[in-house]
Amino acid sequence: MKYIGPHVSIKENISLSAVRAHELSATGFAIFTKNQRQWKAPQLKEEDAALFRSEMRKYGYSPSAVLPHAGYLINPATPDEELKKKSLALFLDEAGRTVSLGLEMLNIHPGAFKEGTAEDGIKRAAAMMDEVMDQVPGIRIAIENTAGAGTVLGSSFEELDMLLSSIRNKDRTGFTLDTAHLFGAGFDVKNDPDGVLDAFFARFGKEKLFGMHLNDSMVPHASKKDRHESIGRGLIGLEAFTAIVRRRETDDIPLILETPDETLWKDEIRTLLEAAAD
């Protein structure tokens, strides 16, 4: 089955995210487990987590159809000790929230190394991810590729491979491929989406694709920038997304829209589901 849907709001109550996804006819969706731009948030109440799990069952969403996204403040690769402590605490909190919601995976950016070498940043990021998995046994981590701005890690398959190789809990670690980030990093996802995916599978295996973010791009190929556009309205184009959703390897994993125009989400979902069924 294709699990296609947008990143929906948790406003008012996190359980409403499943309702909002259902109203869009989404077969999967993404959420933040708390405010993504704050270090702290009220503790997740068990009654709210239970209601979320109940709404998931009510609307037929399996845990594998939902991909929570970790907050933007977390930097696993940071050399700054204070930021490292805060990032780890927040990472652990969000991993715990994810498991409490009955979900399996947490999407995380690999972070920016800021100073020194990329290899140093990779070692720090790997150590933090292992610590989270050690302390939260039920969690799997989906590392998101990046467009490659500045010292941000994860814009090449080589760096992602180095990061995976540095992690002890490899069996619980995989990747989320973001199409806009691939495009910005220089992958020819517009003209050869199958070739890009084949290169990923050749290096990592099909089982390491934990999810995808399906985003068109406002900015040019190899720009090292990340500006999302609605499906088919950007520089990647609809044909590439049609090819992606038709692949068997994208069955049964979250395929998440992070596109900017919410009024188009329902149409985007329908278009992609229809393309996948052809």
Q: Which two tokens stand for residue 241?
A: 């997304």
Catalytic residues: 37, 69, 72, 109, 144, 178, 181, 213, 226, 228, 258
Count CB atoms within 10 A of the CB of residue 207. 10
Radius of gyration of the chain (CA): 18
Give, in degrees to the nearest 5, the angle at Cα 208 between 152 and 165: 60
Distance CA 167, CA 128 (A): 9
Distance CA 172, CA 185 (A): 26
Give, in degrees to the nearest 5, the angle at Cα 263 between 260 and 265: 70
